[in-house]
Amino acid sequence: MIIYGIKTCGSVRNALKFCKDNNIIVFSDEIHSDLIYEPNKHIPFSSLNGAKDITITAFGVGKTFNMAGFAISSVATPDETLRKRFKEQLWLEK
């Protein structure tokens, strides 16, 4: 499932419920999260109640500061099991 664009909290919570009900891991690409204009506000997917254990978040400064060529970004998850699985998929850990 791909969700993009500006969403309401309700629609994002519905997506979270769907993912949890169907055992789906969420890769939340929040690279553009700094490019939100008022009165809108960015709410990280992993900050939703119950999302931390199924969410991997990507973020970075490349888009915000027009440094796309630098390829500077980070990937994070607070869930240790999910972090280990992600690293294994990238061959960072065996």
Give the full edge-to-edge strand order of the sheet including 74-76: 26-29, 55-59, 74-76
**In the chain, what are the domain boundaries?**
25-89
| 52 closest CA partner among 35, 22, 80, 77 | 77
Q: What is the pTM of this model?
A: 0.75
pLDDT at 6: 60
Half-sphere exposure at residue 2, Cβ-oriented, CA atoms within 13 angstroms: 2
| pLDDT at residue 20 in the model | 95
pLDDT in tens, the chain (94 residues): 556 566 777 888 888 999 999 999 999 888 777 777 888 888 888 889 999 999 999 888 776 677 767 767 788 888 899 888 888 887 765 5
Q: How many residues does the chain have?
A: 94
Distance CA 62, CA 67 (A): 4
